[in-house]
Amino acid sequence: MVTHTQSARDGRQESGGESSGIAERRRPGMVQRLGGFLERSWRPFALLAGLLVAWWAVTAAELVEPYLIPSPGDTFDAIAQRPEYFWEHTWTTSYETLLGFGIAIAVGVISAVLMVQSQTLEKTLYPLLLFAQVIPKIAIAPLFVVWLGFGMGPKVLVAVLMAFFPVVISMVTGLKSVDPEMLQLSSTMGAKPWQTFWKIRFPASLPHLFAGLKVAATMAVTGAVVGEFVGADAGLGFVILQANGNLDTPMLFAGLLIMSLLGVLLFVLVEWAEQLLLPWHASRRDEGATTTL
């Protein structure tokens, strides 16, 4: 009898050790997360490389006039010849983008929390948010210049308006996606509303929030450049307008290229933040992508 009990105990210990070993192997490390990111990223980079080759081939064969589409060499030469010029204007747009993006995150998250907590507030604000999102920002940007002048204010405000809607919508969706049984269990256990929010609602909403932040990051870049189109003496929008007025297509394409790279860089930073703050969600997503492949 003792021998049988000891054998069963040893079996449980061995199975427990195997389970812990499997758990350790499944726990996502930095190298695994980086590998998953590279696994997801090599295809877009390969597509971009293919488009760059196609761009070079079209211009080298002179299928289009250089004043319509410059060659990659001419575009990169435009950047190489005036690196300080492009760096100064890129920094201006980057600062406006980051400031507008940060304000959009803060205001969007707070607005989403208030709307989820109050149905009256949600029914009041939600249609107004939708109405504001439908209005083209380029149409109202001149008003911001009239109200706020030609400084940084109008550019940041347009960036906020562009990035705000994805943030608030994703946050509201995340806060409402919590399992009702979890909320009932929390209430039964005597948790206070603020404890339920911080322990259950807010953590459950983070995957949805980061999905919205990825969209908002690129929209913030677009908003800053749109604001610069209306009235500015610095920034990538100013570079693009100036190049367009001078019919300088290499300079125009250089500004568009840097603008696109800025949006991609901000998107990648949000992706890395998600990898660091939500490793469990990132690992589950990577496993799903691997299974799909």
Q: What pLDDT is stored for residue 283 in this prediction? A: 57
**Does some domain include residue 20?**
no
Residue 10 domain-assigned? Answer: no
- Is residue 9 one of the residues assigned to a domain? no
Question: Per the domain annotation, does 148 fall within a domain?
Answer: yes
Give the model's pLDDT for residue 137: 83
Domain ranges, residue 284: 32-292
286: which 2 tokens?
């990577």
In which residue are the tokens 């006039």 written? 65
Q: What is the pLDDT of residue 20?
A: 43
CATH code, domain with 231: 1.10.3720.10
**Domain tally, the chain:** 1
Question: Is residue 7 one of the residues assigned to a domain?
Answer: no
- List the pLDDT tens digit at each of the 293 positions of the chain: 444 445 444 544 444 444 444 444 444 555 665 566 566 667 777 888 888 888 888 888 888 888 888 988 899 999 999 999 999 999 999 999 999 999 999 999 999 999 988 888 888 888 888 888 888 888 888 888 888 888 888 999 999 999 999 999 999 999 988 877 787 777 778 778 778 888 888 888 999 999 999 999 999 999 999 999 988 888 999 999 999 988 899 999 999 999 999 999 999 899 889 988 887 765 555 555 444 45
pLDDT digits (tens, 9 = 90+) for 238-291: 999 999 988 899 999 999 999 999 999 999 899 889 988 887 765 555 555 444
58 lies in some domain? yes
Please check whether residue 155 lies inside any domain of the structure. Answer: yes
In a domain, 1, yes or no: no
* Contact (Cβ atoms closer than 8 angstroms) between residue 101 and residue 266: yes
CB 211 within 8 A of CB 271: no
Closest CA to 258 of 232, 231, 235: 235
Q: What is the pTM of this model?
A: 0.79
Rounded Cα distance, 197 and 209, in Å = 15
Q: In whole angstroms, what is the distance from residue 112 CA to residue 179 CA?
A: 18
Q: How many angstroms separate the CA atoms of 225 and 236, rounded?
A: 6
pLDDT at 180: 79
Residues 6+ apart with CB under 8 A from 170: 208, 209, 211, 212, 213, 215
